[in-house]
Chain A
């Protein structure tokens, strides 16, 4: 009898103390300020060191691997980057199963207690960046494995959530097409290019990324190669392109494929409201995540070698995809937050009444207050996101006769000025494709009004 009462009396303050301890941590996006600053200063190495200094929660393992993988890629450590991202991929697979314990915590404490496995688009991006790592290291067959996994992943996403705004990833499809074409698998490449084209068309309204210039040429070239005359003719008319390099002519030349990863993906911030309930005198709090966009001054990149040049097109707006994905999920997040508020308020009421019957009548209201404070403090929004992803990805393809080149990559700003310029030496053989990438983050991440 007495043991039960003791247990009840001990467990309530204990729980309250635990809750307070949990709440002592700030939300995720407040802990990465130094990492962000180093990135804006073009110091990915320091950013990586800063990121690794953060206290690592076990529920954030996937998130930390994703961010580390991206930072390692920026530093140029491709092998380690691939390793981190592969590990993240394995963990996502494991954590995809619903956890009963975490579900319970998410309606009693907050959403950030759930294991992070990333949004659909973040999961596809893991494969995409591993593929890019392999391509830049010249491991085409390994990149092809990732391309097949992207196909599979997108098929699963389409089956499980057909109504989501993100069921296709146009850039991921485009990249798989490039990989298949490089392997000489024309029909697979054609299908991937076609899927990318359809995705760009159908998602134009929601993500506002037009069909990239290079993809138009790729579609015509592959349709010609496959002998799909009507389709090729249709593309020629639609895009207004009369002349493009044929596949056999392209194979006589080398090609440089440049991807530019510009800016940072939007960051989630907490938006919270705390109000006293006049009827009970207790505090009520609700906290929700909200995306804050980042500055994106890049307009296009220009790739120059000798007298030949190519201009990049925007192939993916991660900013738009992230915002639409959160928008689609907001009703569920809000519902959970409201349920949580009710659960926490009930607990506070129960605590304030629990001490009433005993010899110490002042304990009840005190406990109620403690639980109420703990409940308010633990109500934090889940602001975890793969923030080191770029805001936008640009792509350019430049075919050149075999030889040695001094290649210039120029990043042009929206106000016509050159943001950054850098030179590379690239040797091209007949039929060879070289993949080059550039990560660029503006010095000022804040959006200018």
Chain B
């Protein structure tokens, strides 16, 4: 009797545990809260970089200097190559787009479409030439040329020892004047992490 009851209880418990493991659990988390899982580059790092770069680029002298020139209102910037020279595959567009957004919304800087985006826009204009009503057509050859190009690199230095690693990330962003190759602004953000791998698991 007691044996049967024990078995039944065990089976019921096992079934419950099995069912519980089936459901996918989703939990919304605040996007500004740092969640480090593997120690690799993540959203927090990207955000830290864009915050630093936006603040720095808007508060430096290049902007005032440009606006002080006669006949110049707002500088026009194009996003060039941000090269990933690090140990990890990093999506650089997350912070370049963030930066672009913040600079445009500040009303102090204009951005023009990048090389890849431009081709699509030109194709559309070509199409307008053929198919759009004459008074709504946008003519070719009237694009806005950029005054500055934004480029950058991500570099890393990793120092491993056993299960511990020091990961050092350095992100550099540079604004280069297209007129004379002058570097008008250089922003830098360093991130340092100590990553300890667990030695044991279940």
Indicate if A6 sits at the interface (CB-CB under 8 A).
Answer: yes
Instruction: List residues 16-50 of chain B with CB under 8 A from any CB of chain A.
Output: 38
* Selected contact of B2 from candidates A2, A145, A149, CB within 8 Å: A2
Instruction: List residues 140-175 of chain B with CB under 8 A from any CB of chain A.
Output: 156, 158, 160-162
Given contacts A98-B199, A99-B200, A141-B83, contact A152 B158 (CB under 8 A): yes
Kindly provide the distance from the CB of A143 to the nearest chain B CB, expressed in whole angstroms: 11
Indicate if A159 sits at the interface (CB-CB under 8 A).
Answer: yes
Q: How far is the CA of A95 from the CA of B202 in the complex (A)?
A: 10
Q: Point out which of A86, A90, A141, A159 has the most chain B C-beta atoms below 10 A from its C-beta.
A: A141
B89 and A145: CB pair below 8 A?
A: yes
Q: How far is the CA of A258 from the CA of B87 in the complex (A)?
A: 26
Q: Which residues of A contact B158 (CB under 8 A)?
A: 152
B200 and A100: CB pair below 8 A?
A: yes
Indicate if A340 sits at the interface (CB-CB under 8 A).
Answer: no
Q: Mark B166-202, 1 if CB is under 8 A from A, else 0.
A: 0000000000000000000000000000000111111
Instruction: List residues 1-58 of chain A with CB under 8 A from any CB of chain B.
Output: 2-3, 6
* Selected contact of B160 from candidates A93, A99, A156, CB within 8 Å: A156
Indicate if B69 sits at the interface (CB-CB under 8 A).
Answer: no
- Place the interface of chain A in its size category: 20 to 34
Q: Which residues of A contact B161 (CB under 8 A)?
A: 159
Instruction: List residues 34-77 of chain B with CB under 8 A from any CB of chain A.
Output: 38
Q: Which residues of B contact A159 (CB under 8 A)?
A: 160-162
A152 and B83: CB pair below 8 A?
A: no
Instruction: List residues 68-107 of chain A with CB under 8 A from any CB of chain B.
Output: 86, 90, 93-101
Indicate if B88 sits at the interface (CB-CB under 8 A).
Answer: yes
Instruction: List residues 149-203 of chain A with CB under 8 A from any CB of chain B.
Output: 149, 152, 155-156, 159-160
A6 and B84: CB pair below 8 A?
A: no
Q: Which residues of B contact A141 (CB under 8 A)?
A: 83-85
Indicate if A268 sits at the interface (CB-CB under 8 A).
Answer: no
Indicate if A272 sits at the interface (CB-CB under 8 A).
Answer: no
Given contacts A93-B38, A152-B158, A160-B162, contact A145 B86 (CB under 8 A): yes
Indicate if B6 sits at the interface (CB-CB under 8 A).
Answer: yes
Q: Mark A117-152, 1 if CB is under 8 A from B, else 0.
A: 000000000000000000000000110110011001
Q: Which residues of A contact B202 (CB under 8 A)?
A: 99-101
Indicate if B115 sits at the interface (CB-CB under 8 A).
Answer: no
* Selected contact of A3 from candidates B6, B200, B201, CB within 8 Å: B6
Shortest Cβ distance from B198 into A: residue: A97
Q: How far is the CA of A118 from the CA of B121 in the complex (A)?
A: 49
B200 and A97: CB pair below 8 A?
A: yes
Indicate if B3 sits at the interface (CB-CB under 8 A).
Answer: yes
Q: Which residues of A contact B85 (CB under 8 A)?
A: 141, 144
Given contacts A6-B3, A145-B89, A159-B161, contact A98 B83 (CB under 8 A): no
B162 and A145: CB pair below 8 A?
A: no
Kindly provide the distance from the CB of B41 to the nearest chain A CB, expressed in whole angstroms: 11
Instruction: List residues 196-220 of chain A with CB under 8 A from any CB of chain B.
Output: none
Q: Which residues of A contact B201 (CB under 8 A)?
A: 94-95, 97-100
* Selected contact of A145 from candidates B3, B87, B160, CB within 8 Å: B87
Q: Which residues of B contact A2 (CB under 8 A)?
A: 2-3
Q: Which residues of B contact A86 (CB under 8 A)?
A: 89
Q: Which residues of B contact A98 (CB under 8 A)?
A: 199-201
Q: How far is the CA of A363 from the CA of B202 in the complex (A)?
A: 35
Q: Which residues of A contact B89 (CB under 8 A)?
A: 86, 142, 145
B2 and A3: CB pair below 8 A?
A: yes
Kindly provide the distance from the CB of B64 to the nearest chain A CB, expressed in whole angstroms: 35
Q: Point out which of A96, A142, A145 has the most chain B C-beta atoms below 10 A from its C-beta.
A: A145
Shortest Cβ distance from B81 into A: residue: A141
Kindly provide the distance from the CB of B62 to the nearest chain A CB, expressed in whole angstroms: 28
* Selected contact of A97 from candidates B86, B156, B199, CB within 8 Å: B199
Q: How far is the CA of A159 from the CA of B86 in the complex (A)?
A: 22
A149 and B6: CB pair below 8 A?
A: no
Q: Which residues of A contact B86 (CB under 8 A)?
A: 145, 148
Q: Which residues of B contact A3 (CB under 8 A)?
A: 2-3, 6
Q: Mark B77-117, 1 if CB is under 8 A from A, else 0.
A: 00000011111110000000000000000000000000000
Given contacts A93-B38, A99-B202, A159-B161, contact A152 B87 (CB under 8 A): yes
Q: Which residues of A contact B38 (CB under 8 A)?
A: 90, 93
Q: Which residues of A contact B162 (CB under 8 A)?
A: 159-160
Given contacts A93-B38, A152-B160, A160-B162, contact A145 B88 (CB under 8 A): yes
Q: How far is the CA of A144 from the CA of B89 in the complex (A)?
A: 10
B2 and A148: CB pair below 8 A?
A: no
Q: Which residues of A contact B2 (CB under 8 A)?
A: 2-3
Q: How far is the CA of A142 from the CA of B88 in the complex (A)?
A: 9
Kindly provide the distance from the CB of B170 to the nearest chain A CB, expressed in whole angstroms: 14
Q: How far is the CA of A149 from the CA of B2 in the complex (A)?
A: 60
B199 and A145: CB pair below 8 A?
A: no
Q: Which residues of B contact A95 (CB under 8 A)?
A: 201
Q: Which residues of B contact A6 (CB under 8 A)?
A: 3, 6
Kindly provide the distance from the CB of A100 to the nearest chain B CB, expressed in whole angstroms: 6
A interface list, Cβ under 8 A from B? 2-3, 6, 86, 90, 93-101, 141-142, 144-145, 148-149, 152, 155-156, 159-160
Q: A97-B198, A99-B200 are in contact. List 9 more A-B contacts (CB 8 A).
A: A6-B3, A90-B38, A96-B197, A97-B199, A99-B202, A142-B89, A145-B88, A152-B158, A159-B160
- 8 closest A-B pairs by beta carbon, nearest first, are A97-B201, A148-B87, A97-B198, A99-B201, A6-B3, A145-B89, A98-B200, A156-B160
| A/B interface sample: 7 pairs, CB < 8 A | A94-B201, A99-B201, A99-B202, A100-B201, A141-B83, A152-B87, A155-B160
